[in-house]
Copies of this chain bind each other. A is one copy, B any other.
Amino acid sequence: MGLEIESNMLNLEIAGISLRNPAILASGFLGISQAIFERIFDEGAGAVVSKSISKYPMEGFRNPTVVVLENKSYINAVGLSNPGHESFYEEVSTNDKVPLIVSLVGSDPSDFEVMTKKFNKSRIIGFEINLSCPHVQKLGMEVGDDPQMVKSIVKAAKSNTTKPVFVKVGIGNTNLIDISQTAINAGADGITAINTIRAMKISIDNFNPILSNKIGGLSGSSIKPIAIRCVYELSKKFSVPIIGCGGVSNWEDALEFMIAGATSFQLGTAMGFDGMSIFNSINSGILKYLKKKGYQSVKELIGRSHKY
């Protein structure tokens, strides 16, 4: 295991943070426990994003909260359940080895002010602002669709922390490029694209939408071609790093994101299907590819498609 994840051919920097490799665990996957963060890191992840944390604890929706689809995809409406920022601050207080990015969700700038101020004291490497959760009202996407709000939230976060702040965008009702532009203008150090896409599964046996929230977010292989397009468009347009997310299932997908223009990539759904060893197998795959093709570093691949 050790070899692949430590190879300096996989090293890279995003917004001033050094990572040992580009494979990051996406927000919402196993993201509430320090012990699990450490395990994921030991399994080979380059960094870990926490579950989106809100000011106060949230129970989330009733079960069913996840529907498994064919095609290595899920629809989920967990409802942003999380322990709240105070409890989570305690949770990560012992962190000393995991490159941890804390994902934050809130409904107004003051939420972000409070939370970034608090976590700025933690041993974490940065923040990700979730502007794109597609299934919780007044949080996530509804906020992300309001440019004025995006601006003040990003400013609130930036002015209370010295750590990099990434903004996570999605396919919502507003233009992805415009909202990213707003976030970048307000000081965002990078963009994570994309979140899940609003979707639904209805049973033909009993006519019920399966999720208790009825509508959830689609993740996994199904959304990959859309996510690749978003990363391509964003990275062509902006100079801040873009972190690709959506449907990475194997090293080929991971490379496709980087060639599209991602500085690194996140994954979640594929870990559900293949287990935590996926980080190591993706990193090994990338390393083998680099060696076979004669590259010195994975960084050489970032945005290679742009010139075509």
Chain A contact residues, CB within 8 Å of chain B: 69-71, 73, 75, 171, 173-176, 197-202, 204, 207-209, 214-215, 218, 221-223, 225-226, 228-229, 232-233, 252, 255-256, 259-260, 289, 304-305, 307-308
With contacts A71-B71, A175-B173 known, is A200 near B308, CB below 8 A?
no
Asked if B226 contacts A198 (CB within 8 A), the reply is yes
Asked if B199 contacts A226 (CB within 8 A), the reply is yes
Residues in B neighbouring A256, C-beta threshold 8 A: 201-202, 204
Asked if A218 contacts B209 (CB within 8 A), the reply is no
A258 to B73, CA, bound (A): 22
Residues in B neighbouring A204, C-beta threshold 8 A: 252, 255-256, 259, 289
Tell me what chain A mostly uses at the interface: helix, strand, loop, or mixed: mixed
Question: How many chain copies?
Answer: 2
Asked if A209 contacts B305 (CB within 8 A), the reply is yes
A42 to B201, CA, bound (A): 32
A174 to B178, CA, bound (A): 12
With contacts A202-B256, A207-B259 known, is A226 near B221, CB below 8 A?
no
Asked if A308 contacts B209 (CB within 8 A), the reply is yes
Q: Which of B171, B197, B222, B260 contacts A200 (CB 8 A)?
A: B260
Asked if A208 contacts B174 (CB within 8 A), the reply is no
A–B pairs, 28, beta carbons within 8 Å: A69-B225, A71-B71, A75-B225, A171-B197, A197-B226, A198-B229, A199-B226, A199-B228, A200-B225, A200-B228, A200-B229, A200-B232, A200-B260, A201-B228, A201-B256, A202-B232, A202-B305, A204-B252, A204-B256, A204-B259, A207-B259, A207-B304, A207-B308, A208-B308, A214-B308, A218-B226, A221-B222, A222-B222
The 3 A-B residue pairs with the shortest CB-CB distance, nearest first, are A199-B225, A200-B229, A222-B222
A247 to B228, CA, bound (A): 20
A113 to chain B, nearest CB (A): 29
A207 to B303, CA, bound (A): 9
Asked if B207 contacts A229 (CB within 8 A), the reply is no
A73 to B225, CA, bound (A): 10
Residues in B neighbouring A308, C-beta threshold 8 A: 207-209, 214
Q: Which of B173, B221, B232 contacts A209 (CB 8 A)?
A: B232
A265 to chain B, nearest CB (A): 13
Residues in B neighbouring A228, C-beta threshold 8 A: 199-202
Residues in B neighbouring A215, C-beta threshold 8 A: 229, 232-233
A106 to B73, CA, bound (A): 36
